[in-house]
Amino acid sequence: RDPRTARGAVRRRVGGAAVSGRLGAIVPVLNPDLTTQHLVDLAVRIEELGYDGVYMPEAWSRDALVLTTAFALATSRIEDGTAVVTVPVRTPAITAMASATIDDLSDGRFVLGLGMGHHRTSTCWHGLEYDPKLVWLREYVEIVRRIHAREQMDFRGERLRCTDYRLGFEPHRRR
């Protein structure tokens, strides 16, 4: 963030246009003509154009965490993130391990976006129960944050549990 402004807004030119604030791009995952390499090349181009971030949604397409790892390795300045990872289809420990690893590879540029998704994603695609209660998301976020903080896990919530686990390395943002 820019210390000169409350929100980090800076007037600058991005791809020839004057911009005030932060500007990110979501990659076009629904285009069947784009290969994974095309999307990585697009992330590099987004960085070259002066954007602040590139984000990968997780639905109907490639795995968001795998592709943001490729973005992180191919770029050097912009934020790389998910928009969003569907909570009901991954355990919080798996998400925390993956996101901490990507954060480490990207030198702290990774941003994890989480959301509840929808019935089709959870039930139809993965055969899992879909019960979009806020308590589930709150507990999930708490577990991910505590794992990133390298706490010894002994979490027993209303919906989720995570016990006898501690992340084996210090994530970049915690250093």
**Model pTM score:** 0.85
Quick check: 3 pLDDT over 60?
no
For the residues 12-23, what does the mean pLDDT come to? 73
Q: The tokens of 162 are what?
A: 């995570």
CA dist 28 and 26 (Å) reads 6
What pLDDT is attached to residue 55? 96
CA dihedral 14, 18, 19, 24 (to 10 degrees): -30
CA dist 171 and 101 (Å) reads 7
**Could you report the per-residue pLDDT of 114-169, keeping only the tens digit for each?**
999 888 888 888 898 888 889 999 999 999 999 999 999 999 999 999 999 999 99
For the residues 21-29, what does the mean pLDDT come to? 89
Q: Are 65 and 102 in contact (CB under 8 A)?
A: yes
